[in-house]
Amino acid sequence: MQHGNCGGNQVQPIVCPTQYRCHDRFVPREVPFIHPIVNVNRVHTVEIPRHYFTETTQNVMGQTIQGNPCGERRRGW
């Protein structure tokens, strides 16, 4: 009996180790990225001058002027 012969002139096939072919396929998948944003409304005080004036009235005695008791008119008046 001979090994490797399958009757007549036939040869026994040799089976090699299995080879794998990978056919990669890519499927998109969304990944959420969260970006927190805080809106800050700021109010700034700007000081501007506003002037107020107080007003008073004073009555004071002035110089005493003598009048003409006779009613005569003086020259130059």
Please identify which residue in the block is written with the tokens 């090699």: 16
Residue pLDDT, tens place only, 33-48: 999 999 999 999 999 9
Return the pLDDT at 3: 54
Q: Would you give the distance in Å from CA 1 to the centre of its chain?
A: 92
CB-count burial class (<10 Å; 0-12, 13-18, 19+) for 8: exposed
Give yes or no for residue 12 having a pLDDT over 80: yes
The separation between the first and the last C-alpha atoms of the chain, rounded to the nearest angstrom, is: 171
Return the pLDDT at 57: 95
State pTM to two decimals.
0.33
* DSSP 8-class letter at 12: P
* DSSP 8-class letter at 14: P
